[in-house]
């Protein structure tokens, strides 16, 4: 749009020629400098700056691919908008200016694409486990790229793609998102699609509280979470059994058993699905209580108890309380020995199960066990007039029965009583015993008392025999008395006493008065000095030997023997011992002589007059007298008797 005057010269080595006659020429209008953009999917806005001396502009538009019609617009403005275009389509725009003469100037050409339309048919698929959403849509013409935006009150997430789907990750649980999709190309970005609401899964419930009250009832509670429709609480025991409950509230109750560990998880649910896994809580119930506690040994100071192992117990605590003192033992084994207990005492015994996680189960029931009675103490042992043994003891037991045992070589002898003494009868004489006492109650038997020795008196000899040795000496003999070490025997009468002390079973007693009734007494004495007084039938000493024995001739061949009767006997026997025979005569009752007829003469005779005992036994210890009997006349052996005593 500038007028130029043009001259031409020739230039050579010699110089320059003169200019040709001038000629004027004017350049056309400059091409407008276009600024093009697509403000909407169906329009293109063309802008340019004013062109010098231009009075108008002509702008045309057509698809870049040559298809379709051409739109042409004339305008005196420096801006022009083409509408009703196809979205996302590349258009070629040409523009030029003209002057007042209508001469067009240079043209300017450029390409511009319309912006894409918003994607349609939006589909949202939510993955509750991964907390991500897959968004898909129908492809939009002319879109180079797509952007998906997920907006919530607290955050914005997006993803971009050249495809018709996109996945938004890292969504937050319990959040409501508005999902929109926009398409873009080099012309710009489409409007966002109408937002699609996406409600993610609810967050895992928090502040989970687990309580067991009372035992056997497990209460699980939690805080309310946004966007939850209902909750499901799962409780799985360590044996694999699982239970659950559905609720729209924030608490569930379950039955629980002792000694189990429960794994507890709570999920919130809505239409989007299950909430993420929150914390898995474990709750261990108190270990079970032993229920079959059996005392296997109960003594005066010790109780042994056993029970079956129980679930969940790592240790057992056993406590025995008598109201004042406490004895306890801890062990991993299902058994306990409680020692150093008091005898005849009732203990409240409880076995508590213990686990490191839960501690002691304090709800275990107790049972009462009474220790065996205390050992009695024998105070003394006495004898009564009938030689029975009375045993006395001291004890502090309640409702006890006491048994006293005498143990010796001859066997066992017992007596029982609920008091503090009892009588032992029938103990054999001459025996040694060990006496012990034992107390017994329903709880058991005490230890025996300290033993006390007991020795019964020696046995009396079964028989005692008195044999007259001489007129004043007797031999006393007896059978052995069991338990006796020495004997003291005596013959007692009104005239006096004769006695001896010996360790043998016979004894000679002198100074015996003939013809006297004696009482035979014997004492059996043990090594410790115990004495048994033994009584036997009385003994009548032998009659006294007669005095004044004389012989008188009686006829031609006979003799009469006289004596003086003495105390103690009424019967006598007379014996004549000679070489030609033995001749005997017995007096008539009440007489003190007897006759011997037809006795041979010419011989020496020993004459003895002896008392006869009641048993018929002749005593042989009386004095003997010797007489010589001579013959008179001529006939040998038949002559007259002549006798004289020799001594």
Question: Per-residue pLDDT tens for 130-162?
Answer: 899 999 999 999 999 999 999 999 899 999 999
Please give the pLDDT value at position 549. 87
Q: Which pair of structure tokens corresponds to residue 517? A: 């009734």
**CA proximity to 514, closest of 492, 481, 550, 545:** 545
pTM for the full predicted model: 0.61
Please give the pLDDT value at position 637. 37
Please give the pLDDT value at position 362. 87
Please give the pLDDT value at position 569. 60
Q: Are the CB atoms for 508 and 469 separated by under 8 Å? A: yes
509 contact partners, CB below 8 Å, separation of at least 6 = 473, 474, 475, 476, 489, 490, 491, 498, 499, 500
Give, as one character, the DSSP assignment of residue 593.
E
- Average pLDDT, stretch 272-278? 90
Percent of the chain topping pLDDT 70: 96
DSSP helix/strand/coil, 33: coil
- Average pLDDT, stretch 276-285? 91
CA distances from 66 to 61, 108, 151, 312 (A): 10, 18, 42, 87
Q: What is the pLDDT of residues 2-26, one digit of tens each?
A: 889 999 999 999 899 998 999 999 8
**Whole-number Å distance between alpha carbons of 436 and 424:** 12
Res 252 pLDDT > 50: yes
Res 645 pLDDT > 80: no
CA distances from 125 to 122, 199, 270 (A): 10, 11, 15
**CA proximity to 550, closest of 426, 643, 612:** 643
Q: What is the pLDDT of residues 345-358, one digit of tens each?
A: 999 999 999 999 88
* 550-570 core/surface letters (b: 16 or more CB in 10 A; e: else): ebeebeebebbbbbebbebbe
Q: What is the pLDDT of residues 89-124, one digit of tens each?
A: 999 999 999 998 889 999 999 999 999 999 999 999
Average pLDDT taken over every residue of the chain = 90
SS3 track for 176-222? EEEEEEEEEECCEECCCCCCEEEECCCCCCCCCEEEECCCCEEEEEC
- Average pLDDT, stretch 310-319? 93
- Average pLDDT, stretch 494-510? 93
Q: pLDDT: is 635 or 164 the higher one?
A: 164
Q: Residue 636: pLDDT band by 50, 70, 90 thresholds?
A: very low
Task: Give yes or no for a cis peptide into 214 (omega within 30° of 0).
Answer: yes
* 430-463 core/surface letters (b: 16 or more CB in 10 A; e: else): bbbbebbbbbbbebbbbbebeebebbbbbbbbee
Please give the pLDDT value at position 638. 36
Q: What is the pLDDT of residues 524-560, one digit of tens each?
A: 999 999 999 999 999 888 888 888 888 888 877 788 8
Please give the pLDDT value at position 543. 82
- Average pLDDT, stretch 383-398? 84
Please give the pLDDT value at position 633. 52
Please give the pLDDT value at position 341. 92
Q: Which pair of structure tokens corresponds to residue 114? A: 């319309």
**Whole-number Å distance between alpha carbons of 161 and 181:** 11
**Whole-number Å distance between alpha carbons of 124 and 12:** 84
Q: What is the pLDDT of residues 427-484, one digit of tens each?
A: 899 999 999 999 999 999 999 999 999 999 999 999 999 988 888 899 999 999 999 9
Please give the pLDDT value at position 4. 93
- Average pLDDT, stretch 261-274? 93
Please give the pLDDT value at position 241. 93
Q: Residue 217: pLDDT band by 50, 70, 90 thresholds?
A: very high
Please give the pLDDT value at position 523. 95
- Average pLDDT, stretch 170-189? 92
**CA proximity to 571, closest of 552, 590, 585:** 590
């Amino acid at each position: 749009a500038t007028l130029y005057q043009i001259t031409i010269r020739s230039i050579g080595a010699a110089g320059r020629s003169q200019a040709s006659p001038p000629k004027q020429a004017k350049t056309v209008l400059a091409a407008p400098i276009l600024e093009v953009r697509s403000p909407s999917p169906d329009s293109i806005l063309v802008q340019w700056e004013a062109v010098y001396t231009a009075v108008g502009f002509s702008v045309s538009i057509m698809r870049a691919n040559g298809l379709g019609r051409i739109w042409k617009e004339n305008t005196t403005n420096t801006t022009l908008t083409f509408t009703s275009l196809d979205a996302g389509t590349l258009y070629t725009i040409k523009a030029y200016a003209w002057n007042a003469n209508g001469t067009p100037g240079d043209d300017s050409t450029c390409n511009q694409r319309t912006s894409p339309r918003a994607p349609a048919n939006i589909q949202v698929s939510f993955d509750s486990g991964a907390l991500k959403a897959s968004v898909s849509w129908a492809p939009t013409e002319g879109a180079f790229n797509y952007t998906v935006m997920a907006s919530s009150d607290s955050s914005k997430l997006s993803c971009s793609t050249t495809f018709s789907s996109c996945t938004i990750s890292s969504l937050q649980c319990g959040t409501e998102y508005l999902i929109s999709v926009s398409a873009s190309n080099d012309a710009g970005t489409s409007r966002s699609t109408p937002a699609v609401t996406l409600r993610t899964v609810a967050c895992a419930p928090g502040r989970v509280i687990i309580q067991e009250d009372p035992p056997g009832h497990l209460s699980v509670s939690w805080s309310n979470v946004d966007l939850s429709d209902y909750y499901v609480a799962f409780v799985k025991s360590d044996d694999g059994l699982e239970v659950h409950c559905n609720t729209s509230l924030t608490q569930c109750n379950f039955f629980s058993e002792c000694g189990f560990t429960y794994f507890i998880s709570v999920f919130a649910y809505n239409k989007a699905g299950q909430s993420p896994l929150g914390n898995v809580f474990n709750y261990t119930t108190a270990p079970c209580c032993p229920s079959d506690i059996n005392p296997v040994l109960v003594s005066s100071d010790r109780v042994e108890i056993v029970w079956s192992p129980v679930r969940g117990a790592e240790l057992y605590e056993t406590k025995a309380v008598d109201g004042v003192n406490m004895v306890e033992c801890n062990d991993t084994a299902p058994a306990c020995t409680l020692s150093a207990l008091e005898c005849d005492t009732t203990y409240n015994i409880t076995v508590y199960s213990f686990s490191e996680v839960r501690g002691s189960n304090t709800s275990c029931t107790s049972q009462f066990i009474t220790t065996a009675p205390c050992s009695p103490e024998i105070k003394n042992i006495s004898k009564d007039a009938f030689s029975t043994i009375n045993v006395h003891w001291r004890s502090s037991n309640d409702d006890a029965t006491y048994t006293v045992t005498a143990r010796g070589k001859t066997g066992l002898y017992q007596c029982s009583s609920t008091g503090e003494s009892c009588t032992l009868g029938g103990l054999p004489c001459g025996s040694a015993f060990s006496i012990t006492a034992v107390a017994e109650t329903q709880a058991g038997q005490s230890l025996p008392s300290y033993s006390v020795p007991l020795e019964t008196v020696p046995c009396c000899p079964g028989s005692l025999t008195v044999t007259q040795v001489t007129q004043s000496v007797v031999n006393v003999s007896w059978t052995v008395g069991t338990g006796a070490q020495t004997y003291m025997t005596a013959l007692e009468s009104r005239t006096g006493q004769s006695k001896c002390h010996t360790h043998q079973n016979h004894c000679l007693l002198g100074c015996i008065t003939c013809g006297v009734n004696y009482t035979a007494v014997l004492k059996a004495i043990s090594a410790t000095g115990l004495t048994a007084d033994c009584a036997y039938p009385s003994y009548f000493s032998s009659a006294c030997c007669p005095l004044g024995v004389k012989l008188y001739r009686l006829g031609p061949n006979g003799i009469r023997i006289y004596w003086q009767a003495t105390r103690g006997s009424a019967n006598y026997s007379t014996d004549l011992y000679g070489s030609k025979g033995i001749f005997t005569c017995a007096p008539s009752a009440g007489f003190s002589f007897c006759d011997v007829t037809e006795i041979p003469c010419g011989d020496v005779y020993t004459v003895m007059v002896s008392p006869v005992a009641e048993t018929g036994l002749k005593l042989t210890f009386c004095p003997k007298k010797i007489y010589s009997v001579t013959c008179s006349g001529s006939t040998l052996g038949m002559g007259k008797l002549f006798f004289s005593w020799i001594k």
